[in-house]
């Protein structure tokens, strides 16, 4: 049912941290294939390696060992310039703490990655307006993040993640700072982006909200995959 080549391929992917003389395992020897159009839920206790794995896939961090290819980009050997382009063009990232810039309003926060990518101002603004309308934030365009509810902040962050039309959306605990109603709205939006727009979505979460929609559930413990459940 999915295309035969994976969008994400990890082989013996390992990230360790070496503060001082100790070695801490982030993830260890992960083998993984994710196919275009899948919706993946990453599960595991605190410290099991979910954020480490997402950061590597996002190109925000660099593997210690192993191989990682995403959308034909070899992230192990990519130059800093290639990684910047990859993060900008391929990935949309949503975080638990929203990570909006406090001095910019909603519209400016959403437009920023599009403008940094060098797209024409008018096109970026039109796309941002369209996304913010879809996310029911049209009445909040000129509000700063501090003037928004948690749900509104996360919807703004989703719009920002979509401004450059990424094929891959990575969400690290996106409902962690939201009540259950807003958490459900955010998961429904991520599911919609997967089902109706064909984007590949990976959600790291302690919540069960996304479970019914997952095509692949990955369980991590101490940096290794203990179980994978493919649901269709």
Ligand X SMILES: Nc1ncnc2c1ncn2[C@@H]1O[C@H](COP(=O)(O)OP(=O)(O)OP(=O)(O)O)[C@@H](O)[C@H]1O
Q: Which helix (H) or strand (E) holds 13?
A: strand 8-17
* Stretch in the footprint of Mg ion (CB under 5 A) among 42-50, 100-108, 190-198, 216-224: 42-50
* Smallest separation (angstroms) from Mg ion to the CB of 212: 22
CB atoms within 10 A of CB 195: 13
Structure tokens at 51: 């954020």
- Nearest residue to Mg ion, scored by beta-carbon proximity: 51
Q: Rg of the chain over CA atoms, in angstroms?
A: 17
Residue of 51, 105, 200, 207 that binds Mg ion (CB under 5 A): 51
Provide the binding-site residues for ligand X, judged by CB under 6 A: 17, 19, 24, 26, 44, 46-52
Position 175 contacts Mg ion (CB under 5 A):
no
* Smallest separation (angstroms) from ligand X to the CB of 22: 9
Pick the closer one to ligand X by CB: 19 or 80.
Answer: 19
* Smallest separation (angstroms) from Mg ion to the CB of 202: 13
Give me the helices (H) in 62-179, please: 80-89, 106-116, 121-134, 150-162
Interaction partner, residue 26 (ligand X, Mg ion, none; CB < 5-8 Å by kind): ligand X
* Stretch in the footprint of Mg ion (CB under 5 A) among 8-16, 43-51, 106-114, 185-193: 43-51
Pick the closer one to Mg ion by CB: 28 or 51.
Answer: 51
CB atoms within 10 A of CB 154: 29
* Residues in contact with 12: Cβ distance below 8 Å, sequence separation at least 6, in sequence order: 29, 30, 31, 65, 66, 67
CB atoms within 10 A of CB 83: 16
* Smallest separation (angstroms) from ligand X to the CB of 217: 15
| 207-219 CB burial, b ≥16 within 10 A, e <16 | bebbeebbbbbbb
Pick the closer one to ligand X by CB: 46 or 79.
Answer: 46
Pick the closer one to ligand X by CB: 38 or 48.
Answer: 48
Structure tokens at 75: 């992230």
Pick the closer one to Mg ion by CB: 135 or 204.
Answer: 204
Can you give the binding site for Mg ion, defined by CB under 5 A? Answer: 50-51
């Amino acid at each position: 049912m999915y295309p035969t080549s994976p969008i994400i391929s990890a082989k013996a992917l390992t990230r360790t941290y070496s503060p001082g003389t100790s070695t801490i395992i982030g993830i260890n020897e992960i083998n993984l294939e994710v196919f275009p159009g899948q919706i993946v839920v990453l599960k595991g206790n605190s410290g099991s390696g979910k954020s480490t794995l997402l950061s590597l896939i996002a190109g925000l961090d660099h593997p210690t060992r192993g191989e990682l290819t995403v959308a034909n980009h070899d992230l192990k050997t990519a130059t800093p310039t290639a990684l910047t382009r990859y993060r900008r063009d391929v990935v949309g990232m949503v975080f638990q703490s929203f990570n909006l810039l406090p001095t910019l309003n909603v519209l400016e926060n959403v437009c920023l990655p599009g403008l940094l990518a060098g797209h024409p101002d008018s096109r970026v603004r039109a796309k941002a307006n369209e996304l913010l309308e879809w996310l029911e934030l049209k009445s909040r365009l000129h509000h700063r993040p501090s003037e928004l509810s948690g749900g509104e902040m996360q919807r703004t962050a989703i719009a920002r993640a979509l401004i450059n039309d990424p094929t891959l959306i990575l969400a690290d605990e996106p409902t962690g700072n939201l009540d259950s109603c807003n958490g459900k709205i955010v998961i429904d939006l991520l599911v919609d982006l997967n089902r109706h727009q064909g984007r590949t979505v990976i959600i790291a979460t302690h919540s069960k909200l996304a479970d019914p929609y997952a095509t692949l559930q990955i369980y991590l413990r101490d940096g290794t995959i203990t179980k994978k459940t493919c649901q269709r």
